Structure 1
Amino acid sequence: MTVTLASATLASLSHRTGLAVLDHLERSARIPVVDGLHAQGDLIVVPLPLIAASVEARPRARWTEVPPEGVELLRGAAGGNPHTLVADPGTCRWTADVADAEGLALGIFEASAVVYLLHPEHGGTGCAPGAYVVRRQREQWSRGPALGARLVAD
Structure 2
Amino acid sequence: MNLAELVGRTNVDALDHLERETTIPVVDGLQAQGDLIIIPFSMFAGDPDPNASRWVPAEGIHLVAGGDGRNPHVLVADPGTCTWSAVGNPELGIGIIENTAPAYLLHPEHGGTGIAPGRWVVRRQRERTGLVAD
Greater radius of gyration (CA): 1
Count, aligned residues: 134
TM-score normalized by structure 2?
A: 0.89
- How many percent identity over aligned positions? 54
Structure 1 stretches of 4+ moved >2 Å: 76-80, 97-100, 138-142, 149-152
Query: 1:130: which partner in 2?
Result: 118
- What is the DSSP-based 3-state SS (H/G/I as helix, E as strand, rest coil) of the residue aligned with 2:17? coil
* Corresponding letter in the other structure for 1:62: A
User: Residues of 2 paired with 1:120 and 1:33: CA distance?
Assistant: 18
Name the Cα RMSD after superposition. Answer: 2.1
- What is the DSSP-based 3-state SS (H/G/I as helix, E as strand, rest coil) of the residue aligned with 1:79? coil
Aligned pair partner of 1:74 in 58, 61, 64: 64
User: Residues of 2 paired with 1:75 and 1:137: CA distance?
Assistant: 13
**Which structure 2 residues correspond to residues 44-55 of structure 1 after superposition, within 5 A?**
44-50=37-43, 52-53=44-45
- What is the DSSP-based 3-state SS (H/G/I as helix, E as strand, rest coil) of the residue aligned with 1:31? coil
- What is the DSSP-based 3-state SS (H/G/I as helix, E as strand, rest coil) of the residue aligned with 1:57? coil
Question: Deviation string for 1:110-147 (max 9, x for gaps)?
Answer: 000000000010000000000001111135776xxxxx
Aligned pair partner of 2:109 in 100, 121, 127: 121
Query: 1:22: which partner in 2?
Result: 15
Query: 2:2: which partner in 1?
Result: 9
Query: 1:95: which partner in 2?
Result: 85
Instruction: Determine if contact 1:84/1:119 at 8 Å carries over to the other structure.
Output: yes
Instruction: Determine if contact 1:61/1:98 at 8 Å carries over to the other structure.
Output: no
**Which structure 2 residues correspond to residues 52-63 of structure 1 after superposition, within 5 A?**
52-53=44-45, 56-58=47-49, 61-63=51-53
Unaligned 5+ runs, structure 1: 1-7, 143-148
- What is the DSSP-based 3-state SS (H/G/I as helix, E as strand, rest coil) of the residue aligned with 2:42? helix
TM-score normalized by structure 1?
A: 0.78
